[in-house]
Amino acid sequence: MYARRRRHYIPGMDKIEIISDEEFKENLSKAKSYVGIVLIEGPNYNSPEAKAIIYQHGKRNMSLRKAGKFPVIFPVTDGGRIKGMGVFCVSEDEVREIMNGDPGVQAGIFTYELHAVRGFPGATLP
């Protein structure tokens, strides 16, 4: 028998159903490991050639997405030093190789950080 589910109100949101401990543990058991990336403004971000290089960087990212290696890409548009975030589904070593070959990284327009992350089955953008 399933535990009775309670409803909680979170300010600014509709009422949501809180999942059971069993459902939470089941979801956790299905999590997969990925490599998250944070793309950061580099020392040459405002250089005269930056715009053209960023265009090539974007095309390259879309090629990686199409190849299934970089399925989640988020350009950050708030004007801060973080310029992008995303999730790779290849090894960290392969991500380093990919990023070290990125024209924006090579030109000092971007730097990056890698982070081990987990994702859950069925997670998608609406």
Q: What is the pLDDT of residues 73-92, one digit of tens each?
A: 999 999 999 999 999 999 99
Can you give the pLDDT at residue 6? Answer: 54
Q: What is the pLDDT of residues 103-116, one digit of tens each?
A: 999 999 999 999 99
113 belongs to a structural domain? yes
94 belongs to a structural domain? yes
Q: What's the predicted TM-score (pTM) here?
A: 0.83
Domain encompassing residue 108:
43-119
pLDDT bin (cut points 50, 70, 90) of residue 1 is very low
Total residue length of the chain? 126
pLDDT bin (cut points 50, 70, 90) of residue 12 is low
**Which residues have CB under 8 Å from 78's CB, separation 6+?**
none
96 belongs to a structural domain? yes
| Structural element, H or E, at residue 85 | strand 82-88
How many domains is the chain built from? 1
